[in-house]
Amino acid sequence: MTPILTIAFFVLGLIIGSFLNVVIYRMNTARSLGGRSACMVCQSKLAWYELIPVLSFVGLRGRCKSCKTKISFQYPLVEFITGLVFATIFFKFQNILFLNVTAFSVYFLYYAVMFSLLLVVVVYDIRHKIIPDILALIFGALAFIGLFFFPNFSFHIPPLLAFLSGVFIALPFYLLWLVSRGRWMGLGDAKLALGLGWFLGFSVALSALVLAFWIGTIIGLGLIFFSKGYGMKSEIPFAPYLALGAFIAFIFELNIFHIYF
């Protein structure tokens, strides 16, 4: 049963990933999120068989059926990553499913939405070197609301330290932004970190932060030494490392510094 359900949630993630691509490409443009999808170059409307996540990209060999323009690899990559995220979240909470379907549904929906938002932030930051305020606001608001219901799926008043966890996690980013006047770190990263602190709790969020800096340092040095066009002064988005660190810390419930409160 578990393998079948894992595949089902993976497929669900593929479908949602297709929608996330629409959000990423149309955000802050004149286009609405509704309406039929079309080729970005020739504007020809896409048939249903051109909209199957991942498979359509493979079947079309990465090119538009009408104008033969190359399709961005972002499309299948975002779909595939969303599928992996959904399948992993299901796997993490699968035991709850067999005990309480309602509780599992709430857990899965909440964390799937939160990590979907993070994925949109990541790709948008990579493309435009900025984190949209609206995404950081929605993520932070949902994380703050989650303080009152998670992790025990019951309404409760969280302790003061839970409210402060977001501030503690965001403070280093804010100080880096303030001291460097935006040269070392963007203010958007601080806003995102605020939500991550509320979302994960201080100990897990701190672990995610450490992972993010480790991963960012390794990849950043790799780009500088092995990729043309990158140097010590190159602008490298930090949101991808924050999101990856957050996902790893969440899945494995990391507490690197053994802080408990």
Encode pLDDT of 4-18 as tens digits: 999 999 999 999 999
Residues 37, 156 share a domain:
no
Residues 257, 218 share a domain:
yes
Burial 103-137 (b: 16+ CB within 10 A, else e): ebebbbebbbebbbbbbbbbbbbeeeeebbeebbe
Residues 112, 80 share a domain:
no
Mean pLDDT of the chain: 89
| Confidence at residue 116, expressed as pLDDT on a 0 to 100 scale | 98
| CA dihedral of residues 45, 47, 53, 59 (deg, nearest 10) | -110
Residues 67, 130 share a domain:
no
Encode pLDDT of 104-145 as tens digits: 999 999 999 999 999 999 999 999 999 999 999 999 999 999
Nearest to 196 by CA among 176, 216, 214, 169: 169
Residues 219, 154 share a domain:
yes
**Which two tokens mark 194?**
């605020």
Q: Is the pLDDT reported for residue 68 higher than 90?
A: no
How many domains, the chain?
A: 2
Q: Is the pLDDT reported for residue 86 higher than 80?
A: yes
Looking at 97, 119, 135, the residue that finishes a domain is 97
Residues 138, 72 share a domain:
no
| Confidence at residue 115, expressed as pLDDT on a 0 to 100 scale | 98
- Residues 55, 50: Cα–Cα separation, whole Å: 9
| Confidence at residue 62, expressed as pLDDT on a 0 to 100 scale | 85
More confident residue, 41 or 97: 97
Q: Is the pLDDT reported for residue 231 higher than 70?
A: no
Range of the structural domain that residue 225 is part of: 100-261
Residues 143, 64 share a domain:
no
| Confidence at residue 45, expressed as pLDDT on a 0 to 100 scale | 82
Residues 81, 107 share a domain:
no
**Which two tokens mark 137?**
């606001």
More confident residue, 216 or 244: 244
Mean pLDDT of 80-109: 95
Stated pTM of the model:
0.92
Residues 82, 108 share a domain:
no
- Residues 140, 158: Cα–Cα separation, whole Å: 16
Residues 176, 86 share a domain:
no
Residues 202, 147 share a domain:
yes
| Confidence at residue 230, expressed as pLDDT on a 0 to 100 scale | 65
Looking at 97, 126, 157, the residue that finishes a domain is 97
Looking at 60, 77, 97, the residue that finishes a domain is 97
Please give the single-letter amino acid code of residue 7: I
More confident residue, 95 or 224: 95
| Confidence at residue 98, expressed as pLDDT on a 0 to 100 scale | 84
Q: Is the pLDDT reported for residue 250 higher than 90?
A: yes
Mean pLDDT of 25-47: 75
More confident residue, 158 or 33: 158
Q: Is the pLDDT reported for residue 1 higher than 90?
A: no
Encode pLDDT of 178-218 as tens digits: 998 877 788 999 999 999 999 999 999 999 999 999 998 89
Residues 125, 234 share a domain:
yes
Cis peptide, bond prior to residue 151, ω within 30 of zero: yes
Which 8-state DSSP code applies to residue 154?
A: S
Asked if 72 and 60 touch (Cβ cutoff 8 Å), the reply is no
Any idea which of 69-73, 183-187, 232-236 has the lowest mean pLDDT?
Answer: 232-236
